[in-house]
Amino acid sequence: MSTSHDPTRREFTRNLAILVAAPLLAPSGAIAADEKPADPVAATADALTEAARARFGNILPEEHLNKIRESIRGKVLSGQFMKKPKLQNGDEPAFSFRADLP
């Protein structure tokens, strides 16, 4: 009988949230005054990659994990770019669909 088990979705989500929040929970003295904080996009990509490593590290080689990290980084940057424009409730989409009725 194996003692390891596959995590449930709730366990996976909880562990992922802990990984993402860990840099935010560091003591305030952990960062030197003259040192800039790490890039939040890179930190998010690293945390999500570590979650993938924890889950699939036994079957993924390191070069695949590096590609995954870069893909996640691109997705996070795209998400931040999509949040930049301030839309109002009445703004129309960039396209409009009109059905041709018979």
Q: Tell me what pLDDT residue 67 has.
A: 92
Tokens of 97: 């669909």
Cα(54)–Cα(47) distance, rounded to whole angstroms?
11
Cα(20)–Cα(51) distance, rounded to whole angstroms?
9
Q: What is the pLDDT of residues 23-82, one digit of tens each?
A: 666 555 555 545 555 688 888 888 888 888 888 888 888 899 899 999 999 999 998 888
Tokens 């998400």, residue located: 79
Res 2 pLDDT > 50: no
Query: pTM of this prediction?
Result: 0.51
**Which alpha helices (H) appear in 1-102, and where do they start and end?**
9-21, 40-56, 62-83
Cα(60)–Cα(68) distance, rounded to whole angstroms?
10
